[in-house]
Structure 1
């Protein structure tokens, strides 16, 4: 029928916890539909597929050859992102890839270039960019309402979210460490708000839950910019009680400040004109919905990519530097991107 808009067909590969948020976002969308759920765990694939009227698959190759699938949301462990992501792109599918883009900047560069060469969309799921609060801060900062940004502090602390001691996230070979697994979210936000790239990275960490951890569960990552501005990114998955969650954001400019001080509070701004308060939140459902709708826009117009794939590539370089800083105790200088 001429007046009907054709929906974009999606597959979700990897039926773990984050896949539920993506599937729910597709269920709320009028422009995208979930066609298939693929996981080597047949039960997990069947459960998620049944909840959304999709087909379950256990063979990844079936996703690559399915003509009803235009795009894939890849939700598998970090170490699989490059081989699976490359296969998806080379099969002619667009790719929404859960963060991080890759475990090394060399692999990230290869994947981005492959998508560019073949003309397929590659977007990394830096979902926090799509939250109401992050977009409100960006609008205020980029509109120069608080002058030149001098300092950013982002705190995202939560309880033990990694599913127990057998979780793949705790294996550095699979996750890349905490800077790559979760720190990328905060560094991406900071650089977006700053509208610049850091020239140096320094990180300190702790193993709060247990000294036996192979990775740090608490990190502070400092990004230093050429104009002297600093962004401090604090990320923890070691809080008590276990299901706790706390987010704090503060951006200090030469002519004012904007901050979110507590989860129940909205944003507060002090500028030379007035003190203002409004209440955009970080609602997860709206963030995932905003992300999927923007991704569908990007399939039609590549210039709409948010974030651009090369922004996500640079974040991997900063995360690599953070992990190197953790290992050496030194500040790591970031060279110009080739």
Structure 2
């Protein structure tokens, strides 16, 4: 059966909160790939509002969605604490799963999900949307050897820097405020994006050493809202990550230091090698990249959903799945443990003084 004659995959989106709008828009833009069967939320009105444009069912529980034979896959966009439980239920019901990052709260839970998916011949994919643009894809292809000429031109990778900084004035969803320092805030919600890129670049290797420092600058939540991470990899390679919820001048910059020069992604979209532009985004993507909302992200979600459908059809894809997705959560466990050991005494826990 060719792509043109394949029926679209029956999809249920679980969770109709803040991030779900991008997922529903992606589903609407891919009628040949997916058909929205159900929108699910404990708030029936939210589910009805999301389902109506598709003529889909509005449901209030995952169980109702899994009881529908038309649902072949689920996209989970609920609070982090529900990801593992809901993903496991969907896998046990024989459904493919695309789950918003992080896949689970702990590496152990993520590994369990990966084993469950493998045993059942199902796809468990992590929603790392920032893999899905031309600049990152170009780097992935070069590092995989798909572009042998470029690989030889670059030489050996020595170091990687990632800086991803935005400004959130307090919780963007009520449950953000409820996360404890032990559960992690920015290290659980935002670090997965940066660390997924590090993992993509470093390949199958896990870091031999991890050091993290974290701090809290805002009083609207309990957890850390700023962090710096240093990782040492085999082959004397190093990576540093800086993430922040406190920077009004948005920064999304990735720098790869190779033996023969520097490969840099500016504003998350523009790829340069020693100053030579290799990749630029489509017109209109970068309106004002230093301002919140000044960069269009809709194509990321569309490409991610398309890649997920390719994965469950057994076709080549770029989604992190199974063990790859689980390895990242194990790394985040290590980062959070390091941050708590190094920072808890004076950086996160004490009440903030009024300025």
Query: Which TM-score bucket, shorter chain as reference?
Result: 0.7 to 0.9
Determine if the alignment matches structure 1 residue 202 to structure 2 residue 211.
yes
The match for 1:335 is none
Change (3 A) 1:45 1:88: same
The match for 1:256 is 261
The match for 1:14 is 15
Q: CA deviation at 1:181?
A: 1.8
Determine if the alignment matches structure 1 residue 290 to structure 2 residue 298.
no
Change (3 A) 1:238 1:180: same
Moved more, 282-291 or 251-260: 282-291
Give deviations 1:121-142, integer Å, cap 9, x for gaps: 1101111111222112323444
User: 8 Å contact 1:168–1:175 — kept in the other structure?
Assistant: no
Moved more, 299-308 or 216-225: 299-308
Counterpart secondary structure, 1:227 = helix
Determine if the alignment matches structure 1 residue 245 to structure 2 residue 240.
no
Equivalent of residue 236 in structure 1, options 227, 233, 244:
244
TM normalised by structure 1 equals 0.87
Q: CA deviation at 1:97?
A: 0.7
The match for 1:169 is 176
Give deviations 1:61-97, integer Å, cap 9, x for gaps: 1101101111000011111111111111111111001
Give deviations 1:8-32, integer Å, cap 9, x for gaps: 0100000012111111111111211
User: 8 Å contact 2:190–2:243 — kept in the other structure?
Assistant: yes
The match for 1:269 is 273
Alignment partners' CA distance in 2, 1:136 and 1:304: 14
TM normalised by structure 2 equals 0.83
The match for 1:106 is 108
Q: CA deviation at 1:225?
A: 0.3
Counterpart secondary structure, 2:48 = helix
User: 8 Å contact 2:186–2:245 — kept in the other structure?
Assistant: no
Q: CA deviation at 1:317?
A: 1.1
Change (3 A) 1:283 1:131: farther
Change (3 A) 1:150 1:283: farther
The match for 2:28 is 27
Structure 2: which 5+ runs fail to align?
286-294, 344-355
Q: How many matched pairs?
A: 320
